[in-house]
Structure 1
Amino acid sequence: MDRSERYVITAETLLRAYAAGVFPMAETRDAEDLFWVDPELRGIFPLDGMKISKSLYKTIRQKKFDVRCDTNFLGVMEKCAESTETRPDTWMNEDVFRLYNELFQMGCAHSVECWEGDELVGGLYGVSLGAGFFGESMFSRRPNASKVALMHLVARLRLSGYSLLDTQFVTEHLETLGAIEIPRRAYHLLLDEALQIPVLTFYSDPIEDELASELEDMFLQSRTQTS
């Protein structure tokens, strides 16, 4: 089928899909179509249950990376889509780039970025809807860079009053950081609650002391849960 003849998903359709609990993926970078996913077991990060090791918190406090938000959204997506030794291909195709960049332009998608000077070395991006944030992908080109970006994301979500951080699936790596799996029905209940809260402003530029205090609280919570 010619591309002009097939159904083209819009950014508005994508937001409705997230509100219904589904998200899109492509088979490969070159795939022409997307398919919708609604896993039986859904991955989430409880915002009060992050796992922060002493070494990670030390990296955060030392400010080894310059952490920014929304300064290079497309760059984060491109880095997330790059081939790696463990993942030679990606689920992010042309439509994915188009759709999420449209959401970014609408203020409905955000990136958290770790920089070393002028080099983007880690980060993540996702979609914001109501009091829910739906993480899409993250990357790291330096040790702990993606972890630092994730913890900064969670601190901003907590400060902004979000109630749900969706990670779609749980991997062993995400589990070490606090991700858990819940049944589809339980996820949809959390999603419905998050969507009842008015659209929140993503806290992209918090006061430095406030952000540092929130990260410290997250670390102390983590130590209490593991002690």
Structure 2
Amino acid sequence: MSHDIFLLDKSNKFPHASLSQESPNGLLAVGGDLSATRLIEAYKNGIFPWYCEGEPILWWSPDPRCVFPIDSIHVSRSMKRELNKSSYKITINHAFSEVVDGCSAPRVKEAETWILPEMKAAYEQLHEMGLAHSVEVWSGKDLAGGLYGVSMGRFFFGESMFSEGKNASKFALIYLSHYLAENEFLLLDSQVGNPHLYSMGAVDIARSEFIKLLEEHIAWPQPKDLWQPKTLTSWRQF
């Protein structure tokens, strides 16, 4: 059963995610702003912004939800060989702005990006608050790829990734998953699935299950030094 699309007011409260539209899948609300307070409230409740230039801000909570259970990422034999022989260097929070810039560049066959200047500014603020983080893949001194997202409780909410070097975004995802597993995380959220994500071990779960897990684990206290800038030196075959 579909419900009306909610028009957000000046408060930072969202309607419950279960009231999202069936078509388009997950559209819940329109309007509001990208303040840190509103974004934090959104993520806590399984909601995220996603819109295009010239549109009002659209807020989504799709059903099903595409996630990586932390211990389920798939590393193929060929990818394992690539990981073992690679000269890439993998870091956390060494170049957040540059990673967001890389993710915001229009993709091949896509004329525009959804990571607009106001979105970039909003996530920069979350980064300064210690909530948004990047994983960088370096080829020498050049940024070959990476990903960024928001981390709260036992969750990492992935926002976007990019590659300019071979397999760079896959390396970022694999190393991040290992790091999250080492630190007792539960899920890496990918929002909406695609063949590439599924090939690497992503699965769909019911939105109701995702929201229940958020309610149970979003308040988990992360280690204080978890997101200090560092180099990641290991990955594991799950």
Q: TM-score range by the shorter chain?
A: 0.7 to 0.9
Distance in 2, Cα, partners of 1:26 & 1:167? 17
Cα deviation per residue 1:188-221 (whole Å; 9 max; x = unaligned)? 112222214223443556786xx53xx23xx1x3
Aligned partner letter, 1:150: L
Alignment map for 1:108-127 (pairs within 5 Å): 108-127=131-150
Alignment map for 1:144-223 (pairs within 5 Å): 144-201=167-224, 202=226, 211-212=233-234, 215-216=235-236, 219=237, 221=238
Q: RMSD of aligned C-alpha atoms? A: 1.9
Look up the SS of the partner of 1:133 in the other structure. strand
Look up the SS of the partner of 1:122 in the other structure. strand
Distance in 2, Cα, partners of 1:156 & 1:65? 17
Alignment map for 1:81-100 (pairs within 5 Å): 81-100=104-123
| 8 Å Cα contact 1:43/1:182 also seen in 2 | yes
Distance in 2, Cα, partners of 1:175 & 1:136? 16
1:139 equivalent in structure 2: 162
- Does 1:11 pair with 2:73? no
Distance in 1, Cα, partners of 2:55 & 2:196? 30
Distance in 2, Cα, partners of 1:166 & 1:200? 20
Shift of 1:95: 1.9
Which structure has more RCO (C-alpha within 8 Å, separation ≥ 6)? Answer: 1
| 8 Å Cα contact 1:164/1:191 also seen in 2 | no
Aligned residue pairs total 207
Look up the SS of the partner of 1:45 in the other structure. strand
2:47 equivalent in structure 1: 22
Structure 1 unaligned regions, length at least 5: 1-5, 222-227
Distance in 1, Cα, partners of 2:70 & 2:203? 11
Query: What is the TM-score normalised by the length of structure 1?
Result: 0.84
| 8 Å Cα contact 2:91/2:136 also seen in 1 | yes
Aligned partner letter, 1:61: N
| 8 Å Cα contact 1:76/1:111 also seen in 2 | yes
- Does 1:44 pair with 2:67? yes
Distance in 2, Cα, partners of 1:140 & 1:161? 27
Distance in 1, Cα, partners of 2:230 & 2:136? 15
Shift of 1:113: 0.6
Cα deviation per residue 1:67-90 (whole Å; 9 max; x = unaligned)? 111111111111111112232222
| 8 Å Cα contact 1:73/1:125 also seen in 2 | yes
Aligned partner letter, 1:132: F
Structure 2 unaligned regions, length at least 5: 1-30
Distance in 1, Cα, partners of 2:170 & 2:228? 17
- Report the CA distance shift for 1:57/1:203 in structure 2 as closer, same or farther (over 3 A): farther
Aligned partner letter, 2:181: R
